[in-house]
Amino acid sequence: MKSRFRSTLLLVATLVLGTLQTAAAQAPRGESMLEQVMKRGTLRVGMSTFVPWAMQDKTGNFIGFEIDVANRVAKDMGVKAEFIPTKWSGILPALLTGKFDIIIGGMGIRPERNLKVNFSLPYDHTGMSLVAHKKLTAGFTALADFNRPNVTIAARTGTTAATAVTRLMPKAKLRLFDDESQAIQELLLGRVHAVVASAPLPAFQAIAHPDRLFLPLKEDFTQEPIGFAIRKGDPDSLNFLDNWIRVTEAEGWLKERKHYWFETKAWEKLLK
């Protein structure tokens, strides 16, 4: 009798547990980023200034490849883009604490970053390039020439440029700056031997200062995919972003915008 009673209790407990698990699985989750954005009417975009990804024009408005991308994403959501400039070194924590909805800022898809956030499909690819001081690095023609203890290389804090220097030129001294403009100024003053940054910034600097700077390497020395970053646990928003990328790639829109910002200088007249 006791054995039958215990069996009945076990069966009831199993049924109750199964019902609770099913209810939990079917319970509505919190609103997705996409739903929140559409209710609010604005897409809050975390970004940082990188020429020609994002910069300010003569009137103080943001322009650049990433600005075009963010504005198009927002438009296709039926909302406006709100840009929130953030130091690159703190941009991931700012996303995770809800300061903005998404990072659209030339962010390389990296495994260590992917542990904290979810990335969309790549909508672009970029690579690291190096611009050097002519006098300090006379005769340098390869990456190995910079991998020396007496060489100082500058990069922006928290970027894959800094990671690339540490990984590929470990013997060199690395100096970190919050902004590429600070690093370039140190290079022009001859206080560092080279600056590593995402292409095409190094090429633009070599063209702007041909008397002091040059490109010792013929090609970018790394390649990396670029994606949108959002908080984890939001498959609906990620699905929208992935399919947005597929559509705009098929239209040729992304390619056209990339050509304008990276392969022409027609936009320079818009700058301060």
pLDDT digits (tens, 9 = 90+) for 26-53: 334 578 999 999 999 999 999 998 889 9
pLDDT in tens, 141-151: 999 999 999 99
pLDDT confidence bin for 179, thresholds 50/70/90: confident
Q: Is the peptide bond before 225 cis (omega within 30 degrees of 0)?
A: no
pLDDT in tens, 110-148: 999 999 999 999 999 988 999 999 999 999 999 999 999
Structure tokens, 146: 């910079």
Q: Assess whether pLDDT exceeds 50 at residue 2.
A: no
Beta-strand relationship, 55-56 and 62-63: antiparallel
In whole angstroms, what is the distance from residue 146 CA to residue 204 CA?
21
Q: Where do the CATH 3.40.190.10 domains begin and end in the chain?
A: 33-125+224-270, 128-214
The architecture of the domain spanning 128-214 is 3-Layer(aba) Sandwich (3.40)
What integer is the mean pLDDT of 178-193? 94
Looking at domain 33-125+224-270, does it have CATH number 3.40.190.10?
A: yes
Whether the model pTM is above 0.85: no
- Count CA within 13 A, CB hemisphere, residue 161: 33
In whole angstroms, what is the distance from residue 105 CA to residue 196 CA?
18
In whole angstroms, what is the distance from residue 107 CA to residue 48 CA?
10
- Report the Cα 81 to chain-centroid distance in Å: 17
Query: What are the residue ranges of helices labelled H in the chain?
Result: 2-26, 33-40, 65-77, 91-96, 111-114, 143-146, 160-168, 180-188, 201-208, 235-251, 253-263
